[in-house]
Amino acid sequence: KEKHKILHQLLQNSTSPVDL
Amino acid sequence: IPPPAKKPLTKIVSHLLVVEPEKIYAMPDPSVPDGDIKALTTLCDLADRELVVIIGWAKHIPGFSSLSLGDQMSLLQSAWMEILVLSIVFRSLACDEELVYAEDYAVDEERARSSGLLDLHVAILPLVRRFKKLRVDKEEFVTLKAIALANSDSMHIENLEAVQRLQDSLHEALQDFEGCQHPEDPRRAGKLLMTLPLLRQTATKAVQHFYSVKMQGKVPMHKLFLEMLEAK
């Protein structure tokens, strides 16, 4: 996760999970 | 009364249409003279911005955010170029032998040749021709894009069952959509899924192309694009 810092950060930015 | 089981599946396709990202613009720097470096710089910058959009989009795919963070990362690291290529292909469907990398950046063969993009151009066009032949519509494009992400065959998936559930729900959504919209062709969902091997092959060529651009070191690349290239 350290190596892929930006992807990790962008995924962690909060959005509520979508469950249809 | 419609069968209740079908309702949520149709919902997935309509939801994917709603969360489809806005149009993207390449905005090539007018102060830089045309040529290989300018074309590749424009595409690398575009890809970096589009990756941010793709990561945001993925979070809106029903079921994706329920995966572990590690699995979300693995799927995106495997499939990002397939998603980029698929978007270029869909944007190019209305054109004749031109690739629409962005709304303001369409490249024909001559321009591709003069700007060092011919390899990429030649690699992506067969997929455009295949999609044109199938007359792929927007609903099918958004669903296939989500399927490409869920089906990315990453070697590092922690919870295979959860990823399988995501694949199944998207696959069902496609089949359900085709059953309603194209009852005249019961094999249409299969025909669409059969384009995915060519998509993977094309994306692999595109990754190799940009990896060699990175190795040459003549074109500036933003951090996220580099990070995703290195993950490949």
Q: Is the pLDDT of residue B7 over 50?
A: no
Q: A11, B59: Cβ pair inside 8 Å?
A: yes
Residues A11, B202: Cα–Cα separation, whole Å: 26
Confidence of residue B57 (pLDDT cuts 50, 70, 90): very high
Residue with tokens 């995966």: B67
- B130, pLDDT greater than 50: yes
Position B46 scores a pLDDT of 97
Share the mean pLDDT of chain A.
Answer: 74
Note the pLDDT of residue A3: 73
**Cβ B157 vs Cβ B71: under 8 Å:** yes
Query: Does the pLDDT value for residue B215 go beyond 70?
Result: yes
Predicted pLDDT at B34: 87
What's the pLDDT tens digit per position in B196-208? 999 999 999 999 9
Chain B positions with Cβ closer than 8 Å to A = 8, 11-12, 15, 52, 55-56, 59-66, 69-70, 72-73, 76-77, 223-224, 227-228, 230-231
Q: Which of B187, B150, B142 is nearest to B166 (CA)?
A: B150
Cβ contacts (< 8 Å) between A10 and chain B: which residues? 52, 55-56, 224
The DSSP bridge partners found for residue B121 are none
Q: Is the pLDDT of residue B113 over 60?
A: yes
- Distance in Å from the first CA to the final CA of chain A: 29
CB-neighbour burial class of residue B99 (10 A; exposed 0-12, middle 13-18, buried 19+): buried
Residue B3, pLDDT above cutoff 60: no
Tens of pLDDT, residues B80-99: 999 999 999 999 999 999 99
Average pLDDT over residues A2-18: 78
CA distances from A1 to A5, A15, B177, B221, B227 (A): 6, 20, 37, 21, 11
Question: For residue B1, what pLDDT is reported?
Answer: 60
- For a pLDDT cut of 90, what percent of chain B falls above it? 90
pLDDT at position B6 is: 47
C-beta neighbour count of B172 within 10 angstroms: 16
Please name the member of B11, B55, B61 whose beta carbon is closest to the beta carbon of A11. B55
Selecting from B8, B62, B69 the residue whose C-beta is nearest the C-beta of A12 gives B69
Whether chain B has a CB inside 8 Å of the CB on A18: the answer is yes
pLDDT tens-digit profile of B142-181? 999 999 999 999 999 999 999 999 999 999 999 999 999 9
Residue B116 has a pLDDT of 87
- Checking if the pLDDT of A14 tops 60, the result is yes
**Residue with tokens 């919209």, as numbered in its chain:** B181
Burial of residue B165, with CB atoms counted within 10 A of its CB: 0-12 exposed, 13-18 middle, 19 or more buried: middle
Indicate the average pLDDT of chain B. Answer: 94
Q: Name the minimum distance, in Å, from the CA of A12 to any CA of chain B.
A: 8
Q: B63 and A19: CB-CB below 8 Å?
A: yes
Q: A9: distance to nearest CA of chain B, Å? A: 10
Task: Name chain A contacts of B64, Cβ cutoff 8 Å.
Answer: 17-18
Q: Which of B28, B14, B146, B169 is nearest to B87 (CA)?
A: B146
The stretch B215-223 carries a mean pLDDT of 93
Report ipTM for this prediction. 0.85
- Classified as helix, coil or strand, B95 is coil
Reported in sequence order, the residue ranges of chain B that DSSP labels E, i.e. its strands, are 99-102, 105-107
> Would the pLDDT of A17 be above 60?
no
